[in-house]
Amino acid sequence: MSVSTGLSAVSSQVRRQYHFVYDRKNMPEAQKYCRETYTDLATIDNMEDVKILIDIGDLSKISAGYWIGLYDDVNSWRWSLSDTSFYKDGETEFRQWKSGQPDNINSREHCTVINGGGQWGDYDCENRHWFVCMDVRGLNVTFVLMETLMTWTEAQSYCREHHTDLASVRNTAENQKVMDLLSAGQKAWIGLFRDSWKWSDGSILSFRHWNEGQPDNTGGKDACVAGNLRNSGAWMDVSCDLIKPFVCYSECYLLINSSIYIWILV
């Protein structure tokens, strides 16, 4: 953006200003407060942002970390084939999870396998398994088992190049067809996957500052992220129900005119 003045042209950059809030809340409550009072829970893009939080945070008011805007979107399961015309009402939501699944062990299980009993489980997408492609010709859908070990992403690429896509399983009848391709004890990738970590404001996660061994989902429900001023601002995944201080941000504009810098909050 540029702004004309009576003297010269002025350019601007959008920046974030961070605000620590020491009134303890759970993550959804903190998110609501930040959105109502500022812009959103804190998004952190680089080590410079981390250092800013370390500088402005009051250690005497923070005993066990603080919320930032990063969370694990555990309800974002969707099919590799995104064409909405392929699905009737409710078919994108069909699931056949095995008991106790999905469990997201170590916060790394974002892709789906089907076993020889027709039950689904979430697995690390970097694991290598057989996979099921599908060929779609009008209303006809054919499932093809590929007995080659690939990661989920490799399998997706292969299916899209040689068939239509990784298998979408829309109902019980199709689940039976895919199950019939497998023997007991075998498993294969299907096209169901989900997003993992994302920022509350919708920003893309490009920077990570996890503490060693994190994320680990030790509680089984560790879908939110807290920073720790006592450990260089490093992040850990924790339950969203915990009560903590938090960091919001507001947007501001840095106006640049020669050597003059002016901050404008919005």
Q: Long-range contacts for 211-216 (Cβ within 8 Å, ≥24 apart)?
A: 211/235, 211/236, 215/72, 215/106, 215/107, 216/106, 216/107
Query: Which of the pair, 29 or 261, is modelled with greater confidence?
Result: 29
pLDDT at 172: 98
Give tens-digit pLDDT for 107-150: 889 999 999 999 999 999 999 999 999 999 999 999 999 999 99
Domain ranges of the chain: 2-73+197-265, 78-193
Give tens-digit pLDDT for 158-167: 999 999 999 9
Give tens-digit pLDDT for 11-69: 445 689 999 999 999 999 999 999 999 999 999 999 999 999 999 999 999 988 999 99
Residue 248: pLDDT band (50, 70, 90) is very high
List all residues 6 or more positions away from 35 whose beta carbon is below 8 Å from its beta carbon. Answer: none
Whether 91 has a pLDDT exceeding 50, the answer reads: yes
* pLDDT, averaged across the chain: 91
Tokens matching residue 241? 């129900």
Domain 2-73+197-265: give its CATH architecture: Roll (3.10)
